[in-house]
Structure 1
Amino acid sequence: MIELSSTLPGKSYTLYELEQKLKPMGYVIGGNWDYDHGSFDYKIDDQGGYQFLRLPFVAADGQLDSPGVTVRFGQPYVLSHVYQQGLDEEASAGNFSGSFNQFAEPEDPDGRLKEKYIISAKRLLEEAEKMLNA
């Protein structure tokens, strides 16, 4: 995990507004959300694991599943998850594989990041900052 310099930390937006602006850019709400925190994730690549730009946020008023909730950004970072290979070779075909692979423990949750992913993450973050500050 590498934290990135950003203008976003501390800024607040409605979650709805963020979804309207970030989802068309390719961001998704990460699966690690809870009622008081979450993140917008952009999958940069999936070679040898998964490389993501993560824009974490916390609920500033209410809970994330409440209409009109406002969220406040934390420090963005880029991360790499390298998952174990061959845990369940039988479950590697079709839609069924996702139900098993999603529960696999990462081989290295803080996998080494290649410079190209850091550069991509910085570029993507700049684009998101421009979109949100417009």
Structure 2
Amino acid sequence: MASVVSDTRKVVGGECWALAKHVTHDAKRLFGSACGDTWIKGLVQAVELRKKTPDAKRGTNYIKALYKLGSTKAVEQWICMQSLKASNPNPSVDPIGAIVESREQAGGRLESSSSEPTNPEQEPETPKATSH
């Protein structure tokens, strides 16, 4: 029976996400003021458990990954696993895709969110003013 690894950061060939400022010192030049908020996708090359001494009880996992910056530059960097994410921390939301999904869940019809009365003969309720 094969063991299942749920964390892709620990699998060689898996993906991991790191902040741009952890990947390269050129992040400020490449991403400007967004270098602290920009996550870059990397491909895991190696995983290593580092200890201060060979018989130490505690250790830290480091991940060596290849990060692609732009269309021409690639950086290979060792980063502590605590600074990485296993999946995209800022997934882009596609509003058109969300509408299609909600439409499919509603059985092919799109629900109206307007304040129109459902019965055309029924008058909409008007808010009554209250005096204090």
Pick the structure with greater CA Rg.
2
What TM-score does the superposition give when structure 2 sets the normalisation length?
Answer: 0.24
Bigger RCO of structures 1 and 2 (CA < 8 A, at least 6 apart): 1
> Higher helix proportion, which one?
1
